[in-house]
């Protein structure tokens, strides 16, 4: 069997330029390969396969056994039992008789063999005689009794290429799309296409049965079907097998970090004894791959971002007695853009931590931390009052909001207690030991390095550059004061030098920041917020939400304040446009409009743009020019005029008001 043939079977393994793949499907146009690292899917045409073979870029690593290869491992238990049954009768008769082709002589032996082997239905002497002949003619090997490969039942569709073309066309247009049409729709399309074909050809085609269509669809690549009907990301998740597991030779070699919304609702206790629902919190956790110990975690109301990563990183690297802590070598983290501009990457660089983002929508790269989240949910979170469970079926009619009683501080304490006294102590299925035992045994040999709490508080923060002014810096719409830097600021002003400083912000608590001169980053000063009550325990996420809410509310209030006046003005304009120039009612409407504009000018200053001061003031007009009896006047807010137009201007003091142009439009279509 050559290289090409050995790869044309599902389960064959090969290496393409030293990268391992497994053949997941063999189709009409090529093969689909699944990478052993992560299970990513790759389609390879037969032409590309031949070219790789000619270039020597592909090597066969494993070929699954086939039935025609003579290997017993390729047989099912049923096939293997049938083969051994035939051999049992043939070899038993051959060892007891010299002439094995006489049916009369072997009949008694067949009965004895059937009795010894507990065969309830022994074969007839003629059948056994035929088996013996085949055995002799085949060189007395068991290969003669191997089952023959049966042709596919759907191969009958290949007898008529026109039928096959129509079926493929119907499947591609109706079945392989995001509408997820059933096979009955494909059958209807096939009937329609066959009717069109028969109408233009002498030889009529006969439509296939529904069973033949079903068998043909089952021969299609399941991955391609799922990708066409559900999307590429769904197909990748569905068909991606678990890749090679991550290998960490010692503690702190490799750490995974991830976050998720917790399946519980936290509340805030009110003065009257009731509880206020404040939503579901977010958990960020760091887990050591070698020992499965949780180095650090953080629970907050802010979603998974650079700030929560920094806080969890501080909890993982600050020494805390004999608990699992330390600065690690490599970190696998989600490939999100929300922390790319934060101080997280800078902090990891300062700690000499290699940050390796995972691939988007690839759960296999974070399987260990995802498994911890599931263990936490089943072991603790789903037992707390106010849990939302993992899916609606588990929740049933449980009223999570009404029964919620736990605060976010209590939740942090309970999770910490559960990790230290349950998760770290229980036997881990993969390790076959408890995580804390593995840590205590192997960690001392790694000499874990940790941070001091004060050092982590300053170092693990987001950094921005600002200009110091009167001892105050501003960022995100907030201000912090540092009187101790005033002397440095004045000296810079005297020398006419820039006053740029580095501001280190804890985005989960905006009450204080650390400020250091850009040219002297050591010994930063602690600055306090100028709005201490507002910024106490305020996160940047909450601050941005409040700003957005305030902006929306301010705009809404402004619109409500101007709504009645603007609508009344537009209504007068509309009514005035319905009359004729010689209509007394229309003239009075325009006069009222002019009076209203003059009276409400001060109130509408914010919403009406000021006129160009170079514009020449026009005299006030109380009349409307009559164009003809068949025309209707309309008012627009354009200041330009022509020789056939007059301007209607309202004046208050010396400031010209908005001008309205009178144009003529058709009476039958005033708009």
Segments of the chain assigned to CATH 3.30.420.10: 254-446
At 521 the pLDDT is: 75
Q: How many CA atoms lie within 13 A of 154 on its CB side?
A: 13
CB atoms within 10 A of CB 581: 18
* pLDDT for position 66: 64
Q: What is the pLDDT of residue 659?
A: 39
Q: State residue 652's pLDDT score.
A: 37
**CA 472 → CA 269, 466, 516, distances in Å?**
36, 10, 12
CA geometry: angle at 562 spanning 559 and 567, to 5°? 105
* Residue 197 parent element (H or E): helix 183-200
- CA-CA distance, 447 to 445, in Å (whole number)? 6
Strands across the sheet containing 294-300:
294-300, 282-288, 254-261, 330-333, 354-357
Any alpha helices (H) in 219-366, and if so which ranges? 222-230, 232-239, 306-317, 344-350
pLDDT of residue 245: 56
**Separation of alpha carbons 279 and 662, rounded Å:** 58
d(CA 576, CA 592): 10
Predicted local confidence at residue 624, as pLDDT: 37
Neighbour count for residue 257 (Cβ, 10 Å): 25
Region at 432 (left for phi over 0; alpha for psi -120 to 50; beta for the rest): left
**Is 3.40.50.970 the CATH classification of the domain at 254-446?**
no
Contacts of 151 (CB under 8 A, 6+ apart): none
Strand partners of residue 277? 267
On whether the CB atoms of residues 34 and 46 are closer than 8 A, the answer is no
Distance, in Å, from the CA atom of 314 to the CA atom of 459, rounded to the nearest integer, reads 9
Distances (CA, A) of 507 to 8, 102, 460, 481: 56, 95, 10, 17
pLDDT recorded at residue 4: 67
Instruction: Give, for 52, the enclosing helix (H) or strand (E).
Output: helix 46-55
Q: Which two tokens stand for residue 271?
A: 């003065």
Q: What is the pLDDT of residues 278-325, one digit of tens each?
A: 889 999 999 999 999 999 999 998 888 888 999 999 999 999 989 999
- Give start and end residues of each alpha helix (H) in 201-340: 210-218, 222-230, 232-239, 306-317
Token pair for 189: 């399309």
Q: Tell whether the torsion through CA atoms of 263, 268, 274 and 279 is positive or negative.
A: negative
Asked whether 499 and 492 are in contact (CB, 8 A), the reply is yes
- This prediction has a pTM of 0.56
Q: What is the DSSP letter of 456?
A: H
CA distance 467 to 497: 11
> Taking the alpha carbons of 214, 219, 221, 223 in that order, is the dihedral positive or negative?
positive
**Which one-letter DSSP state was computed for residue 294?**
E
Cα separation, 383 vs 234, whole angstroms: 32
- Whether the CB-CB separation of 313 and 296 falls below 8 Å is answered with yes
**Residue from 196, 207, 203, 204 nearest 164 by CA:** 207
Residues in contact with 302: Cβ distance below 8 Å, sequence separation at least 6, in sequence order: 282, 308, 507, 508, 539, 540, 541, 542
DSSP 554-603: HHHHHHHHHHHHHHHHHHHHHHHTTS-TT-HHHHHHHHHHHHHHHHSTTT
Please, what are the averages of pLDDT over each run of 10 residues along the chain (671 residues)?
Answer: 70 84 84 76 84 84 69 76 86 74 78 86 87 83 75 55 87 89 90 89 86 86 87 73 66 92 88 82 94 95 87 94 92 72 81 81 74 93 84 62 83 95 94 94 88 91 91 93 87 89 92 89 87 89 87 72 61 56 64 67 52 42 39 39 38 39 38 31
Q: How far is CA 452 from the centre of its chain?
A: 36
Measured CA to CA in angstroms, residue 610 lies from 559, 597, 606 at distances of: 19, 14, 9
| Residue 631 β-bridge partners | 666
Instruction: Count other Cβ atoms within 10 Å, centred on residue 655.
Output: 12
Burial of 497 (0-12, 13-18, 19+ CB in 10 A): exposed
Q: Are 210 and 193 a contacting pair, CB within 8 Å?
A: no
Do residues 514 and 466 lie in contact, with contact meaning Cβ atoms separated by under 8 Å?
Answer: no
Residue 468 contacts residue 499 (beta carbons within 8 Å): yes
């Amino acid at each position: 069997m050559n290289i090409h043939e050995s790869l044309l079977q599902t389960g064959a393994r090969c290496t393409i330029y030293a990268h391992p793949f497994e053949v997941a499907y063999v189709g009409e146009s090529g093969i689909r390969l699944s990478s052993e690292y992560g299970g990513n899917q790759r389609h390879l045409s037969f032409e590309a396969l031949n070219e790789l073979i000619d270039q020597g870029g592909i090597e066969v690593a494993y070929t699954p056994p086939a039935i025609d290869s003579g290997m017993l491992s390729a047989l099912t238990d049923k096939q293997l039992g049938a083969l051994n049954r035939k051999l049992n009768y043939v070899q038993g008769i051959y060892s007891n008789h010299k002439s094995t082709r006489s049916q009369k002589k072997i009949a008694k032996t067949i009965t004895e063999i059937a009795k010894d082997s507990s065969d309830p239905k022994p074969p007839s002497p003629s059948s056994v005689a035929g088996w013996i002949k085949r055995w002799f003619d085949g060189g007395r090997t068991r290969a003669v009794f191997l089952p023959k490969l049966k042709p596919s039942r759907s191969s009958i569709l290949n007898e008529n290429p026109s039928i096959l073309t129509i079926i493929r066309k119907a499947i591609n247009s109706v079945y392989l799309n995001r509408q997820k049409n059933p096979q009955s729709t494909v059958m209807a399309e096939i009937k329609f296409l066959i009717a069109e074909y028969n109408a233009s050809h002498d030889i009529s085609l006969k439509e296939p049965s529904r069973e033949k269509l079903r068998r043909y669809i089952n021969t299609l690549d399941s991955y391609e079907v799922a990708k066409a009907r559900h999307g590429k990301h769904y197909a990748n998740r569905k068909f991606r097998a678990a890749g090679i597991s991550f290998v960490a030779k010692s503690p702190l070699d490799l750490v995974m970090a991830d976050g998720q919304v917790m399946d519980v609702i936290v509340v805030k206790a009110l003065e009257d004894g009731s509880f206020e629902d404040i939503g579901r919190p977010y958990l960020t956790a760091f887990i050591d791959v070698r020992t499965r110990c949780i180095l650090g975690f953080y629970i907050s109301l802010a979603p998974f971002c650079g700030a929560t990563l920094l806080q969890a990183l501080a909890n993982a690297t600050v020494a805390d007695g004999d608990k699992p802590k330390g600065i690690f070598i490599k970190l696998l983290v989600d490939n999100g853009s929300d922390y790319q501009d934060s101080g997280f990457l800078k902090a990891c660089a300062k700690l000499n931590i290699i940050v390796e983002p995972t691939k988007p929508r690839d759960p296999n790269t974070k399987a260990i931390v995802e498994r911890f989240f599931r263990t936490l949910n089943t072991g603790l979170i789903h037992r707390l009052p106010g849990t939302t469970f993992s899916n609606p079926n588990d929740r049933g009619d449980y009223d999570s909001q009404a029964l919620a009683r736990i605060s976010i501080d209590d939740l942090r304490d309970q999770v910490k207690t559960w990790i230290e006294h349950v998760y770290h102590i229980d036997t881990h299925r993969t390790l076959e030991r408890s995580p804390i035992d593995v840590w205590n045994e192997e960690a001392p040999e790694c000499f874990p390095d940790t941070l001091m709490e004060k050092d982590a508080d300053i170092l693990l923060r987001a950094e921005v550059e600002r200009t110091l002014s009167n001892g105050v810096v501003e960022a995100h719409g907030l201000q912090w004061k540092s009187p101790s830097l005033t002397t440095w600021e004045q000296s810079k002003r005297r020398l006419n030098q820039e006053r740029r400083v580095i501001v280190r912000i804890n985005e989960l608590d905006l009450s204080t920041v650390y400020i250091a001169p850009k040219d002297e980053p050591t010994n930063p000063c602690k600055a306090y917020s100028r709005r201490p009550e507002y910024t106490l325990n305020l996160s940047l996420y909450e601050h941005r939400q409040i700003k957005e809410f305030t902006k929306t509310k301010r705009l809404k209030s402004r619109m409500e304040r101007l709504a009645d006046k603007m609508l009344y003005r537009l209504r007068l304009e509309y009514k005035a446009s319905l009359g004729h120039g010689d209509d007394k009612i229309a003239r009075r409407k325009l006069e009222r409009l002019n009076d209203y504009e003059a009276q409400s000018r001060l109130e509408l200053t914010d919403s009406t743009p000021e006129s160009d001061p170079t514009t020449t003031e026009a005299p006030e007009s109380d009349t409307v020019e009559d164009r003809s009896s068949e025309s209707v006047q309309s008012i627009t807010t354009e200041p330009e005029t022509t020789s056939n137009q007059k301007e209607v201007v309202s004046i208050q003091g010396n400031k010209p008001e908005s001008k309205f142009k009178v144009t003529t439009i058709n009476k039958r279509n005033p708009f």
